Amino acid sequence: MKTHTLSVGLVGYGQAGQVFHAPLIQATEGMELVAVVSGDAERVHADLPEVEVLAKAPALFARRDIDLVVIATPNDTHFPLTKAALAAGKHVVVDKPFTVTLSEARLLRTQADNAERTLSVFHNRRWDSDFLTLKGVLKEGTLGRVVSLESRLDRFRSTVTDRWRENHRPGGGIWYDLGPHLLDQVVQLFGMPRAILLELATLRDGAEVDDDFLCLLEYDGPRVTLQASSLVADPTPRFRVHGTLGSYVKFGQDPQEARLKESLAVVAGLGNDPDLGRLTLASDESEIPAVHEQPNRPGDYPAFYTGVAEMLLHDAPPPVPLDGAMEVMELLEAGLDSYRQARWVRLKEANGLLRQRLHRR
């Protein structure tokens, strides 16, 4: 168990590193961001003048003063960089998705176990305001037995840009970009599904990779639909959930990403979402359902790195257990199998992955 401040090295200073990881690390008690690996030192120093910038990741991994390495690079580099960091004896946080294949994820989990190093994946949307609110509504039984859940992350980005997520390379496309968020959230609510059906589409002019998906998950109970698109100009519900006692509908997306982009810092009220959800509930006294505003629970992205610090300094449980990241990888891969074969793909009950964890914390 450590008692001193954790020295953190960040690999990558694109949007993930600049907007999410660097501000959250800097705001975490017990952590100090001491070095960033980037080919653009000027950009890093404009935001972080006191932080050392290294040109290559091996130079960071070789430093004995670095306790924790954070990988915030293109998806297809997660595996080799995490493997190298673990081999150098570092604890590692890797941005989602964990890797681009389930086999790579399994290899890294084995390597981390053998090295007795901690390995965690940044599934930050477990701390979205709307998701935390929905978890509370379901935990309290407000909707009764849930019969259907729709979860969407839509954007309007009609112009294809020259960035790695838009290029035809492993881990590119919207399924690997937004799919991990939606899959991780629904597994937190209902556990692993029995089967998955995925449709991918490439809709924008000039697009090389998928920019729209529709995913169906089969459960014993609720019908679950996950969707994301880059060509949705009119706002769609972030969540639409129906149960035997009523419905919960939420428009508007969690504000934390937008506020971090604007400030590059953890500011007061970071997770306060002004867009209230709507509960429509059955009434004992009338056949007309009653409509209520549902107060939002505050979002809390800083909770991830606070959890990492508590894990490394005080032996607390990990904020995102690796089993959860493995489940998301299994679903990402099964989804691709479904798309390629144009059929439902059933998930095998193996290694304890198929566990129903309704309302788990």
Find the CATH number of the domain harbouring 29: 3.40.50.720
Identify the bridge partners of residue 228 per DSSP, sorted by sequence position: 153, 213
Per-residue pLDDT at 2:
53
Q: Which two tokens stand for residue 32?
A: 């100090």
Q: Which of 81, 98, 122 is the last residue of a domain?
A: 122
144 shares its domain with 278: yes
DSSP string, 133-157: HHHHHHHTTTT-SEEEEEEEEE-B-
42 shares its domain with 100: yes
| Average pLDDT rounded to a whole number, residues 147-153 | 98
Phi-psi region of 228 (alpha: psi -120 to 50; beta: other; left: phi over 0): beta
336 shares its domain with 222: yes
198 shares its domain with 341: yes
The model's pLDDT over 28-47, given as tens digits with 9 standing for 90+, comes to 999 999 999 999 999 999 99
Helix (H, G, I), strand (E, B) or coil at 65: coil
Q: How confident is the model at residue 163 (pLDDT cuts 50, 70, 90)?
A: confident
| Contact predicate 196/345, CB 8 Å | yes
Helix (H, G, I), strand (E, B) or coil at 243: strand
Residue 312 included in any domain:
no
Residue 144 included in any domain:
yes
Identify the bridge partners of residue 280 per DSSP, sorted by sequence position: 247, 291
Q: Which domain holds residue 148?
A: 126-300+329-346
The model's pLDDT over 46-75, given as tens digits with 9 standing for 90+, comes to 999 999 999 999 999 999 999 999 999 999
39 shares its domain with 75: yes
> How many residues are present in the chain?
361
The conformation of residue 19, written as its DSSP 8-state character, comes to: I
- Gap between the Cα atoms of 332 and 175, Å rounded: 8
- Gap between the Cα atoms of 68 and 61, Å rounded: 10
| Average pLDDT rounded to a whole number, residues 294-301 | 97
- Please count the structural domains in the chain: 2
- CATH number of the domain enclosing 239: 3.30.360.10
Q: Which of 93, 122, 151 is the last residue of a domain?
A: 122
105 shares its domain with 138: no
Residue 341 phi, psi dihedral angles, 5° rounding = -95, -5
Q: How confident is the model at residue 139 (pLDDT cuts 50, 70, 90)?
A: very high
Contact residues for 24 (Cβ-Cβ < 8 A; gap 6+): 266, 301, 302, 304, 305
